[in-house]
Structure 1
Amino acid sequence: MIKKCIGILSFFCCSCLFGQDYFPKNDGVKTTNTNYTAFTNAKIHVSSGQIINKGTLLIHNGKVISTGTNVSIPKNTKIINIEGKSIYPSFIDMYSDFGIEKPKAQPRSRSQAPQYDASRTGYYWNDHVMPENEALSKFNYDSKTAKALLDAGFGVVNTHIQDGIHRGTGALVALNTKEGNETRILKENSAQYLSFDRSATSRQAYPNSIMGSIALLRQLYNDAAWYKKGLSKTKDLSIEALNRNQDLIQIFEAGSKANALRADKIGDQFGIQYVILGGGDEYERIDEIKNTNAAFILPVNFKDAYDVENSFLTSSLALSDMRAWSQEPTNPKVLADNNISFALTTHTLKSPSEFKGKLMQAIKNGLSKEKALEALTLVPAQLLGQSTAIGTLNNGAYANFLITSGDIFEKKTKLYENWVQGQQHIVTNMNTIDIVGDYEFSVDNTTYKMTVEGDIKKLKSKITSETKTLGSKISYNNDWVQISMTTKDSTSQDFIRIVAHVENDAALKGKATLPNGNEISFSAKKSTKTEDDSEEKDKKDDDSKNSIASISYPNTAYGFKTLPKQETLLFKNATVWTNETDGILENTDVLIKNGKIVKIGKNLSDGKAQIIDATGKHLTAGIIDEHSHIATASVNEGGQNSSAEVSIEDVIDNEDIGIYRNLAGGVTSIQILHGSANPIGGRSAIIKLKWGESADNLIYNDSPKFIKFALGENVKQTRYSNGVRFPQTRMGVEQVYIDYFTRAKEYDALKKSGKPYRKDVEMDVLAEILNKERFISCHSYVQSEINMLMKVAEQFDFNINTFTHILEGYKVADKMVEHGVGGSTFSDWWAYKYEVNDAIPYNAAIMHNAGVTVAINSDDPEMSRRLNQEAAKSIKYGGISEEEAWKFVTLNPAKLLHIDNRVGSIKVGKDADVVLWTDHPMSIYAKAEKTIIEGVTYFDLERDTMLRSEIKKEKNELINQMLKAKNKGLKTQPIKKKEKVDMHCDFIGNIIN
């Protein structure tokens, strides 16, 4: 900290050598320019909602003195007449790393402990959390980038160190090229910055998942509250900085709608309203985004069209990616229409020079010019608490303004000058004559037509004769134009070289040098187009723009255009598998109303019900998968040997196509388990597969509390090439459990004593296990470890709820019954690693016959779609009855998950989670015709057939639009085939969503 303070002091001292008014002057008499500057006869946009025609802007000492039509101009004023031109406030980019060197990634060797290898003392224990960081300690003014930003219209940036989960504070900087940092720095601590991303500079392994980052942030806030009370026995400079800056604006880099909602939930828990850097996909879930009450910072890096000329590659394009190209430019408009406050940023653009083109796309897609200006000026100024100083041209504000040839949001408008703190930056000389347009000229008895397009600094020419287009290049500088053109075709080496002066009427006069060296006079006259012609061309461009793809829920293939509604349904003459004492009922009716099963019997009727003829078909309870890893953005937090603090509920991916595919296989509920990277994993999410609903709406109401534990090869890192984390042996795994439960017992006792205690989410969760409020589902294979964990649980007076996988369950079935633990297993997986060599297909039957509650699970996104057939294998291997085998994937997993009072069987009063099968439900020929959850049809076989045709048609329309875009010369991107990542127990990483 001392070194940092010295660094900051040195920074300001160096700046002082060049700027502060109190610094001694030893090189003669200095004069100060006290003149005013007045810009007259301009159209002045004082702010996004206030315009003055034929107005005057008066500035002095870098500030706005007055704006209006009757401004009193002092004698010592430099008057600049800019009649016909416009003045706007300079833009503000409130999310930038301007002047901050990108942190370099640090390698980690095998010998370095990955868990707690903190590089600092006196700071927070986790290196990915750095609230003490200050942007100014790393800031160096970058003249090259400043010029690019100034040329794009920006006058102020809010910069920070883009590294880590808590990144410290940013600084508000004016892009003043003439003066030093003593003038440029508008606010040294302008905001606190956060993200879900690890620091590139830290060797610590934790966290290595989004859910780990979420848990770390929650614990940080808990620790900060504890520290603030003065109860900590040690000093923590990180937490002190966090608490000291808690009243600053908090800016969270989310980068996607899903992460925006996750970040907002953290903020809500701790009373913080983040300003969120979005990902440009907020339009897809606009109601949820609006409910965050957050202001957003929107990138405008809209997708380029894909190059779809290769049909083979094009077939691999996902519909969601194709839609994004069509829909992303509407994002700012959608937020504006929903009264969501937002600023715009250059973040993620390769260069600020791309900004205007991208912004024009948004305007073309409905964003009003007023909202665009507001999002670049007033909104960021207000969010930063600097609206009196920047963002407007009100009296007293900094003299940060743009001079343009007209409406700044028109393609043809030229940006002439960008003034920052009263200092002029010339973008384009105001006296430069605009030569963009159409010309006609003759050279050597041949008539040519020339079109000049583009920005003055980067012009393009297109020259044609009567029969062909010729290759050509053009440059323009200081009122002189130089043109080179071929005389035959674009591959010809015979050139005509033209040098011409630009006259006041944009006519070109000079000489042309022919291929033989002869020089002749040259003249070209610019054709004049009326305002009506220009407007007609703009209208034609608007009329020719692509239709925007419709949004669905989720906004992928097979999504709903409108979310399906709960219905009253009456199934007639079905074969009903009740899973109750009634058994299988032939030719039976089932009535569903208000999301519940209300009647079961024959000859039922209901005047308001939709009748479904189920003759010859089978109606069952929905399949329940006790062990799944679909529908989550991350599955493992393996940075530590215990990650009880993390929760799968924080990272549910409600857009995973696996949800739809599972519905097509008759699955209605799943438990999404943490992986098996560590002995004590994270908390589970028990969800219903309500395709199209929000992530939160998938989770069971009053959901039972579960956590994943793991044994065996994965947790001791047998197959990891760089595994150095404790434990490394099976006996070490046992010691982990004993140590953690001993700590949790002590923590719980202190918590219950009424004495002050530091809230520790990890210990809270483990205490819930001790208090029999949370259940363990344990990844297991080898009988010795299964016995070990049951003994550890009994030592601490609780029970293991479920051993999942448990391929050696047949060896310890009697002990499982005695302990009271269930078994969820694979039907016939074996020999895929050493510790499953003793697996047998009779495992489920043996456990069941011994009295264990048995379920068949998937742990695999492909197998989960055919659990009906997996259940049938227990009939072949072990002679289980059809009814009992069917319970292995319905009622029994419901019992193991403590939700059997709601689902798992067809019984009056239970949730209407049912499946109508075309055939016997365990037949290889059976298809799920309808999959219904709480009376809502989320999968329908007939609709699925129709959707396949619609998807093909929509993709074809989008492909045609992309081909047209390429033919117009618009930029395209290559197709990169993306393979869907299927997560299993040992998957490390995140699925970006």
Structure 2
Amino acid sequence: MKKTMLTLCLFWCSAFLFAQDYFPENEGVKANNNNYTAFTNAKIYVTPTEVINKGTLLIQNDKIVNVGSSINLPSNTITVDLEGKSIYPSFIDVYSKFGVEQAKKPSGGGRSAQYEAEREGFYWNDHIMPENDAIAKFKYDDKAAKELRDAGFGIVNSHIHDGIARGTGVLVALNASGTDANRVLDDRSAQYFSLERSVLKKQSYPSSLMGTLALLRQMYSDADWYAKGNSNTKDRSLEALIANKGMVQIFEAKDKGHALRADKIGDANGIQYTILGGGNEFERIAEIKATNAKYIIPIDFPEAYDVSDPYQEGYVSLQDMRFWNQAPSNPKVLAENGVVFSLTPYDLKSISKFNDNLMKAILYGLPKTKALEALTTVPAQILGKENKIGSLKAGTYANFLITSGDIFDKSTTLYENWVQGTQNIINDKDIKDIRGDYSITLEGQSFDASITGEIAKPKIEVKQDTVKLTSKLAYDNNWIQLSFATDKGEKTYRMTGAVTKDSDNLSGRLILPNGTESFFTAVKKSTFEEKDKKDDETEAPKVMPVTFPNVGYGYTSIPKQENVLFKNATVWTSEDDGILENTDVLVKDGKISKIGKDLNAGRAKVIDATGKHVTAGIIDEHSHIAALAVNEAGHNSTAEVKMEDVVDPEHMGIYRSLAGGVTSLQLLHGSANPIGGRSAILKLKWGEEADGLIYDNSPKFIKFALGENVKQSNWGSRSRFPQTRMGVEQVFMNYFQRAKEYDTKKKNGEAYRYDEEMEVLAEIINGERFISCHSYVQSEINMMMKVAEKFGFVVNTFTHILEGYKVADKMAKHGVGAGTFSDWWAYKYEVNDAIPYNAAIMQKQGVTVAINSDDREMIRRLNQEAAKTIKYGGMTELEAWKMVTINPAKLLHLDDRTGSIKVGKDADLVLWSGHPMSIYTKAEKTMIEGVTYFDLEMDKQQRAAINKERNELVKMMLNEKAGGNKMQAPKKSVKRVLTCDSL
């Protein structure tokens, strides 16, 4: 009766509460209910770190009035005794889709061919939509709200998950009895961004990650320009972006590397994003911490792979196996390193999985206090709503959970979730605990029954003697329904009865197997006792150590610089000194310190190189390994994009290239457009994060392209200009003329809109940036040199240039170098005239020539590719070797730092087992700036360690399957091979 009256009182209270306070009262006789409700004798978590034992929580209407161990209760107070129970703040999800209509990808596939925006009065790119407001598409969803409340959530922050700039979010209380007037706590709660295009918009740009990052940079520049009143037209997108600037800014990264990329965009524009993570932040925790960002962390942990079939097991990479093992430790690692984070059920297929994964994270070491902070106070801080939500302090919303005990204990029952002072019953808190051991006598037969499980969801096991019987138990609203069958299922006994507080026994109506009605009594013999926590607690599985990078051949720690003396080697200097026999090379502080005979090692590590060869590290002038994207094909000019934005430091091509003696490369944009993106010049420092691979004070390069690819001959497009070689020339003429005019305006001090694309092209005209131009046919090579001369600059490098031998004299006169293949030809129409003597002929005409790979496999044997120029063209060994060392260094303007063995240069060196151009020779050590990033002996040890770790992980997964856990089918994760024309 007391429970009924309390519920009725709260209903009337909420009914009056959620009418607008300024609405006229025109019907009947109304009176506001201003009664208080006090929850007494509970363990109250005011905040995760402020806990009151035997406390009282006093609420009125939708707010908390007071909380403490001893407070004065007003006379009009309803008291609820919660002896032995706990109260927690309700959970908050900062990153939700709740109630907001989401964009759905239209049916039909194929690549979009629309190059201009379809909207007028908005930003020039359709994927930028800051004008969108989630509140405009919000509709309260009762079913979803109940599922979230049952999981402990009281408030969600929702938005439209579509586009790069997505607009504003809406903060909603999951109050079933309220209206949107009261549920909506903030209709513009945050501004959202992502790295993903809109699924609805057809505009083709951006088509890549680097295009998206470039677009974000330009968007912020344009917003600043617009805010200063420089535009003659109205742009509702930029106006919204500017108006939303003071809001919380949330960026969907979903990956540790993307988090660092997003943070760079924010830093460049004075914005500290809150970042949605991807669950792999533990792999680069130092860099994640250095962002100083708050994080929203999904806990969508992967299921174990079913590796019971040894053949299928081979599909699963060690990296994927390891991630399964390590992912649940991510919240713990974040907490240990002082990263502020909230937790979200984002991307879970079912909200019911959230609590299971939360318990798993705690099992893996996440402290319970940090877990509670991540669900209450931290999300409130992220949203700037600490004074309203996230705690049980006086004045905050009455959003709280009533539990049977520790909310992070698996045996705990969640009874109620109060939202804005409205009671939501999850499980009846007044339900009697019927768990225990019972004796039942029916028709002269004795049966033993054991009731275990959760208080609100008990389970039963019935035995006759030692035989386990098929049985069922339902328990709801203090009524039980019990049945079990004997005689191999032929006889079924059905029982039902009310559970009373004054008796430990269970009794009620019985239906015998023959249909006769009778009575039963189950006599309680003993009370159910929880197992000792130490016995019941499951031990967390062993977590494999993180490596750098966190893949099979990663290192347990990032390699360190050493002082090394290579003793008694054959030294290929790639300088005028030529090849030196029985010579020492001393490496000190990352530089080549001395070259000579019988050098004093001092404290340097001595490596006996007798009978071995030491060379400068190989440099690949043209490569596409270690990239997350190659082409931004959305426009015919994409000078604004940067390959530095998409460096992939975990790409196995890095390690394999080191094994082939490669230490540096130019990571080039592809050839999808005449004017491509800016290059990244890398040192292959395996284990470093992306920025650690990029040369400091890196030379400025950009990729241009000619021929079939840029006019889209090979992928059937008929919509993007240019479609002919004549059109390609006009693209160059047009863009350089525009860049010249832009640069003139800038130099004259006139007002101008910052245009990153024009800035880059102006750098080319001013000799500050160098072109590597994809080329094949002599006519186009001539055309490109003439365009450059018209605008007063020199093309730096023609790459591929398989008809270079036809125009080598003109190239030498222009001053352009060549990066070419040793012996590729006839793989497409425009290379039909290629010959393997190309490199030697250009070299003899005075052109600086490098042999490059443009291929993930060939890069590992560039030493052998260089040797082919000896066969085809009669090059000397030293001149041939220069084509993969000092010559590419010259083309990349790095020859003062690397590419040869000379005192003062970077110690980028390779120790070879024999002659460096022999097919039988192996790179034994590959060193960059005095750090050994590849060691042949260590590689052998790693192979053994990989097998051992893999076997251990397989055993763990087999144990998961034996334990009845859900598994996922084995699958092979293969990174897409990116080439010049990859889209």
Q: Is the 8 A contact 1:43 1:85 kept in 2?
A: yes
**1:320-366 residue CA offsets vs partner (Å, 9 max, x unmatched):** 21121221111112111111111111111112221111111111111
- Over the aligned positions, Cα root-mean-square deviation in angstroms equals 2.4
In structure 1, what is the Cα distance between the partners aligned to 2:599 and 2:561? 20
Aligned partner of 1:402 in structure 2 is 401
Aligned partner of 2:262 in structure 1 is 263
In structure 2, what is the Cα distance between the partners aligned to 1:709 and 1:773? 16
Offset, 1:623: 0.7
Offset, 1:493: 8.6
Q: Is the 8 A contact 1:500 1:522 kept in 2?
A: no
Q: Is the 8 A contact 2:18 2:182 kept in 1?
A: no
Residue 506 to residue 212, structure 1, CA distance change in 2 (3 Å)? farther
In structure 2, what is the Cα distance between the partners aligned to 1:318 and 1:855? 36
Aligned partner of 1:756 in structure 2 is 751
Aligned partner of 2:789 in structure 1 is 794
Q: Is the 8 A contact 2:433 2:455 kept in 1?
A: no
Aligned partner of 2:325 in structure 1 is 326
Aligned partner of 1:586 in structure 2 is 581
Aligned partner of 1:31 in structure 2 is 31
Q: Which moved more, 1:225-234 or 1:32-41?
A: 32-41
Q: What is the one-letter code of the residue matched to 1:901? A: D
In structure 1, what is the Cα distance between the partners aligned to 2:758 and 2:122? 22
Counterpart selection for 1:604 from 580, 599, 603: 599
In structure 2, what is the Cα distance between the partners aligned to 1:892 and 1:352? 59
Offset, 1:966: 2.0
Aligned partner of 1:82 in structure 2 is 82
Aligned partner of 1:172 in structure 2 is 171
In structure 2, what is the Cα distance between the partners aligned to 1:385 and 1:111? 41
Say which SS state the counterpart of residue 583 (structure 2) adopts.
strand
Q: Which moved more, 1:968-977 or 1:227-236?
A: 968-977
Say which SS state the counterpart of residue 693 (structure 1) adopts.
coil
Aligned partner of 2:202 in structure 1 is 203
Say which SS state the counterpart of residue 424 (structure 1) adopts.
coil
Offset, 1:786: 1.3
Write out aligned runs for 1:187-202 (5 A): 187-202=186-201
Aligned partner of 2:69 in structure 1 is 69
Say which SS state the counterpart of residue 838 (structure 1) adopts.
coil
Residue 529 to residue 231, structure 1, CA distance change in 2 (3 Å)? same
Q: Which moved more, 1:950-959 or 1:872-881?
A: 872-881
* % identical equivalent positions: 62
In structure 2, what is the Cα distance between the partners aligned to 1:153 and 1:526? 36
Q: Is the 8 A contact 1:17 1:23 kept in 2?
A: no
Q: Is the 8 A contact 1:107 1:203 kept in 2?
A: no
In structure 1, what is the Cα distance between the partners aligned to 2:400 and 2:30? 28
Q: Is the 8 A contact 1:482 1:497 kept in 2?
A: yes
Q: Is the 8 A contact 2:152 2:417 kept in 1?
A: yes
Q: What is the one-letter code of the residue matched to 1:892? A: N
**1:678-725 residue CA offsets vs partner (Å, 9 max, x unmatched):** 111100000100000121111111100000111111111112234521
Write out aligned runs for 1:451-850 (5 A): 452-453=452-453, 456=456, 474-482=473-481, 499=496, 502=499, 504=501, 508-509=506-507, 521=520, 523=522, 525=524, 527-528=526-527, 530=529, 533-539=531-537, 541-542=538-539, 545-850=540-845
Q: Does 1:366 align with 2:365?
A: yes
Q: Is the 8 A contact 1:574 1:587 kept in 2?
A: yes
Say which SS state the counterpart of residue 344 (structure 1) adopts.
strand
Q: What is the one-letter code of the residue matched to 2:474? A: S
In structure 1, what is the Cα distance between the partners aligned to 2:523 and 2:799? 82
Offset, 1:915: 0.5
In structure 2, what is the Cα distance between the partners aligned to 1:439 and 1:785? 92
Residue 493 to residue 917, structure 1, CA distance change in 2 (3 Å)? farther
Offset, 1:615: 1.1
Write out aligned runs for 1:939-954 (5 A): 939-954=934-949
Aligned partner of 1:151 in structure 2 is 150
In structure 2, what is the Cα distance between the partners aligned to 1:962 and 1:371? 29
Q: Is the 8 A contact 1:441 1:525 kept in 2?
A: no
Q: Is the 8 A contact 1:106 1:202 kept in 2?
A: no
Say which SS state the counterpart of residue 628 (structure 2) adopts.
coil
Offset, 1:656: 0.9
In structure 2, what is the Cα distance between the partners aligned to 1:369 and 1:903? 52
Say which SS state the counterpart of residue 934 (structure 2) adopts.
strand
In structure 1, what is the Cα distance between the partners aligned to 2:657 and 2:180? 59
**1:949-984 residue CA offsets vs partner (Å, 9 max, x unmatched):** 111101111111111122222222222222231110
Aligned partner of 1:11 in structure 2 is none
Residue 465 to residue 607, structure 1, CA distance change in 2 (3 Å)? farther
Q: What is the one-letter code of the residue matched to 1:687? A: L
Q: Is the 8 A contact 1:641 1:725 kept in 2?
A: yes
Q: Is the 8 A contact 1:447 1:465 kept in 2?
A: yes
Aligned partner of 1:305 in structure 2 is 304
Say which SS state the counterpart of residue 250 (structure 1) adopts.
strand
Counterpart selection for 2:906 from 907, 911, 921: 911
Say which SS state the counterpart of residue 562 (structure 2) adopts.
coil
Unaligned runs of 5+ in 2: 1-14
Offset, 1:755: 1.7
**1:136-157 residue CA offsets vs partner (Å, 9 max, x unmatched):** 0110111111101111111111
In structure 1, what is the Cα distance between the partners aligned to 2:626 and 2:612? 30
In structure 2, what is the Cα distance between the partners aligned to 1:961 and 1:824? 50
Q: Does 1:57 align with 2:57?
A: yes
**1:763-819 residue CA offsets vs partner (Å, 9 max, x unmatched):** 000000000100000111122111111111111111111111112212221221111
Residue 180 to residue 922, structure 1, CA distance change in 2 (3 Å)? same
Q: What is the one-letter code of the residue matched to 2:533? A: E
Residue 642 to residue 495, structure 1, CA distance change in 2 (3 Å)? farther
In structure 2, what is the Cα distance between the partners aligned to 1:438 and 1:902? 81
Q: Does 1:43 align with 2:43?
A: yes
Q: What is the one-letter code of the residue matched to 2:842? A: M
In structure 1, what is the Cα distance between the partners aligned to 2:114 and 2:483? 62
TM-score, scaled relative to structure 1? 0.93
Residue 285 to residue 203, structure 1, CA distance change in 2 (3 Å)? same
Q: What is the one-letter code of the residue matched to 2:964? A: G
Q: Is the 8 A contact 1:433 1:506 kept in 2?
A: no
Q: Is the 8 A contact 1:503 1:509 kept in 2?
A: no
TM-score, scaled relative to structure 2? 0.94
Write out aligned runs for 1:114-263 (5 A): 114-116=114-116, 118-263=117-262
Residue 464 to residue 716, structure 1, CA distance change in 2 (3 Å)? farther
**1:560-608 residue CA offsets vs partner (Å, 9 max, x unmatched):** 1111111111111111111111111111111111111111111112220
Say which SS state the counterpart of residue 423 (structure 2) adopts.
strand
**1:718-756 residue CA offsets vs partner (Å, 9 max, x unmatched):** 122345211111111111111100100000001111122
Aligned partner of 2:6 in structure 1 is none
Say which SS state the counterpart of residue 938 (structure 1) adopts.
strand
Q: Is the 8 A contact 1:506 1:526 kept in 2?
A: no
Q: What is the one-letter code of the residue matched to 1:53? A: N
Say which SS state the counterpart of residue 622 (structure 2) adopts.
strand
Q: Is the 8 A contact 1:642 1:678 kept in 2?
A: yes
**1:138-197 residue CA offsets vs partner (Å, 9 max, x unmatched):** 101111111011111111111111111111111111111101000011111111111111
Q: Is the 8 A contact 1:148 1:351 kept in 2?
A: no
Q: Is the 8 A contact 1:617 1:918 kept in 2?
A: yes
Q: Does 1:930 align with 2:928?
A: no
Q: What is the one-letter code of the residue matched to 1:342? A: F
Q: What is the one-letter code of the residue matched to 2:948? A: K
Q: Is the 8 A contact 1:470 1:486 kept in 2?
A: yes
Aligned partner of 2:3 in structure 1 is none
**1:259-286 residue CA offsets vs partner (Å, 9 max, x unmatched):** 0000001111111111111111111111
Q: Is the 8 A contact 1:824 1:854 kept in 2?
A: yes
Q: Which moved more, 1:820-829 or 1:497-506?
A: 497-506
Q: What is the one-letter code of the residue matched to 1:97? A: K
